[in-house]
Structure 1
Amino acid sequence: MHHKNILLISNGSRYLERMRELKHALDVSILPTTSDTFSQAVSSGHDFDLVILDMQGLGKETLASVDSYVSDNGFIPTLVIQEESALSSLHLPAQGRNDFILSSAGEAEFEVRCALLLWPGEESAPSDIVTVDNMTINLATYQVYIDEQPVDLTLMEYSLLSFLATHPSRAYSRETLLHRVWGFEYCGGTRTVDVHIRRVRSKVGPQIASHIVTVRGVGYLFKL
């Protein structure tokens, strides 16, 4: 499975938390936008692999703009979020590989539908358990254990550690880590990465900390 970029178009905030959950469940980055900022998002220079449309409050003009963007860029797969009461007016792009989901659907169904559109026919998702020396990471529950004892990590510390551990033997710049771990919406500086690396190293202990290698002039690498 390869990293993918998702464009969320929603005039509300109800799916922002769901997007954060999705980002940690799948290897994706998510750029949230609204009807007002859609044109800026699609001209940002990012290539998107999936468009998620939250239909609540979206007007016909926005839908027409999305249809044009999707078709002009090789019919990007689209997932439409629709209220059950509005199914009779369901709008799906006429061409391409698309799907819809009810707004009341659970997290697991949402994740699966996104994964099927992002990685059609590819291998199954990796195991939820990652083991390195005396460390175990449970990707399903966001938990880390050292010698079978839980490690108290913040969400971003966990996200950084799990990203590096699941993408070993490759150096990532601080800018790339900000993009891949914190996401498009993060506006802070690269020093944030250094601070979180230092905290992770101190919490996981010397054995696992030795796997997190500083690559001078580049960034960080998880060495197996």
Structure 2
Amino acid sequence: MRKQVVFIADSLDNAYKFQKVLSEFDVEISAGSTLQIKKLLAPEVRRDLVVFEARDSALAHVDEVVQLAREHDCPLLLIVDESSLDQVKGVLVAPSDFVMHGAVPGECSARVARLLQDADAGMYSELITVENMTINLATYQVQVGGKPVDFTYLEYALLSFLVRHPGHTFSRDALLQHVWGFDYYGGSRTVDVHVRRVRAKLGPDLAQHLETVRGVGYLWS
């Protein structure tokens, strides 16, 4: 049976982007705006995943959507702005997740795939451990030596992307595409700045894993 995905957004821009992402999966999509939340999330409606654009004026509905998804044991994926991360993290509970507005299709697809898998199989592994560092992909948190490290979202996204692709060298342009997303038009030197910050926060031992490949880019060894 095809999985049922409910997509709620007031932005045609995100609706278009996620239509492409969801087309990779064998799903049926019911879509609407925040004016149709109660109808789309009614108890009698079967759903395997809810995708909600929690941005701008729609952010006011996030508690309602989270509560309705929780009542029906339905995984929830929120599309958020960096400015609302603290608010969103405060209301989300597993197996829900969020993705940044402007994230590349690959990141969006990975989040959707994990949540759809969770609807079938329950818990999935969200922890990556390298030496004394632990990355929690569900909570976007990093610990080194048992102590939390305060990364910005983009620093975290850069680190987690490289760690999930060990031994693979990425050019600066490729990292901009994978980490910074659809709508970033800045220069590639911003990658160098973020790499320096990540290395400094990791400490000298772990920083050795984030290697510079001269003339190409960076890799996690």
Q: TM-score, normalised by structure 1?
A: 0.55
Mean Cα deviation higher: 146-155 or 194-203: 146-155
Gap runs ≥5 in structure 1: 1-7, 13-31, 42-46, 52-73, 88-97
Is residue 21 of structure 2 the alignment partner of residue 79 of structure 1?
A: no
Shift of 1:115: 2.3
Q: Which residue of 2 aligns with 1:91?
A: none
Q: Which residue of 1 aligns with 2:13?
A: 33
Shift of 1:199: 0.4
Is residue 139 of structure 2 the alignment partner of residue 141 of structure 1?
A: yes
Residues 169-188 of structure 1: pairs in structure 2 closer than 5 A: 169-188=167-186
Q: CA RMSD in A?
A: 4.0
Shift of 1:134: 1.6
Q: Which residue of 1 aligns with 2:212?
A: 214
Larger Rg: 1
Q: Distance in 2 between matches of 1:140 and 1:75?
A: 21
- Bigger helix fraction: 2
Alpha-carbon spacing, 1:144–1:189, altered in 2? closer, same or farther (3 Å): same
Preserved contact between residue 9 and residue 33 of structure 1 (Cα < 8 Å): no
Q: Distance in 2 between matches of 1:175 and 1:124?
A: 36
Q: Distance in 1 between matches of 2:133 and 2:196?
A: 17
Q: Which residue of 2 aligns with 1:203?
A: 201
Preserved contact between residue 157 and residue 179 of structure 2 (Cα < 8 Å): yes
Give the residue type in structure 2 aligned to 1:194.
Answer: D
Residues 82-97 of structure 1: pairs in structure 2 closer than 5 A: 82=32, 83-87=36-40
Residues 6-85 of structure 1: pairs in structure 2 closer than 5 A: 11-12=10-11, 33=13, 48-50=20-22, 79-82=29-32, 83-85=36-38
Shift of 1:11: 4.6
Alpha-carbon spacing, 1:99–1:137, altered in 2? closer, same or farther (3 Å): closer
Shift of 1:137: 1.0
Q: Which has the higher contact order (CA 8 A, sep 6+)?
A: 1
Q: Distance in 2 between matches of 1:211 and 1:150?
A: 19
Shift of 1:211: 0.3
Q: Secondary structure at the match of 1:81?
A: strand
Preserved contact between residue 48 and residue 75 of structure 2 (Cα < 8 Å): no
Alpha-carbon spacing, 1:9–1:177, altered in 2? closer, same or farther (3 Å): farther
Q: Distance in 2 between matches of 1:210 and 1:143?
A: 20
Alpha-carbon spacing, 1:76–1:117, altered in 2? closer, same or farther (3 Å): farther
Aligned residues: 158
Preserved contact between residue 84 and residue 102 of structure 1 (Cα < 8 Å): no
